[in-house]
Amino acid sequence: MDAATAGLPLRLSDELRCFYRWHDGVLELDDPEWGGLPSVGILQPLRRCVEDHADWLANWPGESMADELDDVYEPTWLPINSESCALVVECGVRPGQASPIHFVDYHSEWTLNCAPSLLYAVRLWNRMIDEEYWVYDSEKGEWDDHYADIPLELRLTSLV
């Protein structure tokens, strides 16, 4: 983990360190059609998150919008998924403090604070599976999300 983050200009939060000690994202996909969890996408390996963070800081939003970067993407955020609208984890927290999750739509240039912590997000994703709002159909090789059945308060988080 330390080798993967050696060039990162921020310290991983305790929650992220715990998360990546448990599982380091999806390295290779046997089925290129599998797109990860509904609304979340693929949770990426840490090395890819570090690469994406560097790319975002270096290349996005581009020269024409450089003055607005601070309004959209914070340098203390680390993207963790593969979607074009990213989930980012706040790393600028004190040791032991929860890491808020933000949803960044860099095409529309807006962000949304969608969870108080990474732990909250993981529990919510587990709940979506446990309560069968997200059901993987192995015959079709895809997730069925029963979006209409998901309680409104869960849909409003932008995590489902």
pLDDT of residue 5: 86
CA–CA separation, 34 and 138 (whole Å)? 11
**Residues 43/119, Cβ–Cβ less than 8 Å:** no
In a domain, 68, yes or no: yes
* Residue found under tokens 């587990």: 126
Q: Does any domain span residue 75?
A: yes
In a domain, 137, yes or no: no
Specify the pLDDT at position 66. 45
pTM of this prediction exceeds 0.75: yes
**What CA–CA distance (Å, rounded) separates 7 from 17?**
16
8 Å CB contact between 137 and 144: yes
Say if 24 falls within a structural domain.
yes
Q: Are 134 and 37 in contact (CB under 8 A)?
A: yes
Does residue 138 lie in a domain region? Answer: no
List the chain pLDDT tens, one digit each, 160 residues.
888 888 888 889 999 999 998 888 765 555 555 567 777 777 888 988 898 888 877 776 554 444 554 456 788 989 888 666 688 899 999 999 999 998 877 666 566 777 899 899 889 989 999 999 999 888 887 888 888 999 988 888 778 7
Domain count, the chain: 1
DSSP structure string for 36-95: -BTTTBPBPPHHHHHHHHHHHHHHSS-GGGGGGHHHH--TTEEE-B-SSEEEEEE--S-T
Q: What is the pLDDT of residue 65?
A: 45
Provide the domain limits for residue 81: 14-117
Distance CA 67, CA 82 (A): 26
pLDDT of 110 reads: 62
Residue 54 lies in a domain: yes
Q: Is residue 133 part of a domain?
A: no
Residue 55 is assigned to a structural domain of this protein: yes
